[in-house]
Structure 1
């Protein structure tokens, strides 16, 4: 009898130590861990979090109506309403059933993380082995353990009459940094600085011309505009590839799209060249790309400059590239191998990561 009691007591101690040894639940939104003033907890198999912490982390304004214990959260054009004790969530005028209702614990109201995140259009993933709720908002994308959030630099200039004469809107990516990497922090800072500087340079270059055109054209004036969106096209094996598409409207004329791209080592923030990634020597891979270019010209000769075959070697000095899941995309920007109105020419060299030399 004593032995059975001893075993039972040992089991109770073991179970207790197992419970208390568990890591606290983390909530990660777009790669950033949310710090709550009260730890999230599991109630009825659902992760419950303090209401204000999660809503504000998602960029929503939140109000607590004490009289009827109601939570109101607003983000853009959406309003989400919950009530303590009710398993119904309202998104605008739509009722959405929940598995568990909001509860009060201590002096905090806890709400179901998945239900409220999904109500604002986010994707939610529960990583049981890490005890982590991963939330990805509609403004971000995921690449394995990393996520990418889009940030925006916006500039607007007006003339002395208050008329908008110039705008610039540059979207740029910010990589999540779950391990506190200094290289990723450096990349994020660089991408932000580049977007800021490019938008400011556009303003400096064209503001005076825009003001003069506005004065001359009056109600017929179209504001000068610069739009750029930088996307992540590949992020695996500690390598990230970004591509920016720039579209300007100047003096009422839409300028054909310009593209720039870069590939970086996520461990060092070093910018990588083709020769860093492929096993071929520089002369070998350039020979292969040149052959592909000549074949492309052969198929549609009227699309290119008439002398492009003779200047193919010069064109190889201006070829740019970026990575996608299927391989390497090589491209030439406007006016290099064809008239600007023909656009950007590109082609894909299919490769697997194992084929690369990095």
Structure 2
């Protein structure tokens, strides 16, 4: 029994020393977004997360000429334009476009700086825009009519 206890203790010590050194922390990947021929202007860069291009909500909605409302209590953004209303909430996989419910591939999230990032492709396609991705250049292009 003593041998087992020593072995368990040694294994616990080794795992705290070896395991953290073998795990590589995920590195942030940044990209560029072009909306209707112009680079999306922002104080922060778009973030590529789990295969999704995430952008600050206000910049993308305004670039698509949508009006924007932010509810800080519920951490919900509502954007609207010509019969289209998009509603998204931080840390929620559900989103609404008009009265239809959709499941997102990446939750909107709030950065430590307090910015809400949302999924570029979802928003672009929700407003009827064409969204393309150039992986080698990390470039997302949104073209709306």
Query: What is the distance in 1 between the residues matched to 2:116 and 2:58?
Result: 9
List alignment gaps of at least 5 residues for structure 1: 1-14, 140-358
Shift of 1:45: 2.0
Q: Distance in 1 between matches of 2:51 and 2:134?
A: 14
Residue by residue over 1:277-311, the C-alpha shift from the partner in whole angstroms, topping out at 9 and shown as x without a partner, is xxxxxxxxxxxxxxxxxxxxxxxxxxxxxxxxxxx
Cross-structure match for 1:114 = 121
Q: How does 1:1-358 map to 2 (within 5 A)?
A: 24-105=30-111, 106-137=113-144, 139=145
Q: Secondary structure at the match of 1:133?
A: strand
Structure 2: 5+ residue stretches without partners: 1-23
Paired with 1:60 and 1:90, the residues of 2 have a C-alpha distance of: 15
1:172 paired residue number: none
More helix by share: 1
Distance 2:60 2:134 in 1: 18
Scaled by the length of structure 2, the TM-score of the pair is 0.77
- SS in structure 1 at match of 2:136: helix
Q: What's the RMSD between the two structures over aligned residues?
A: 1.9
Alpha-carbon distance in 2 for matches of 1:46, 1:122: 17
Runs of 4+ in 1 over 4 A off after TM superposition: none
Higher relative contact order (CA 8 A, sep 6+): 2
Q: 2-side partners of 1:91 and 1:33: how far apart?
A: 25
What is the distance in 1 between the residues matched to 2:137 and 2:49?
18
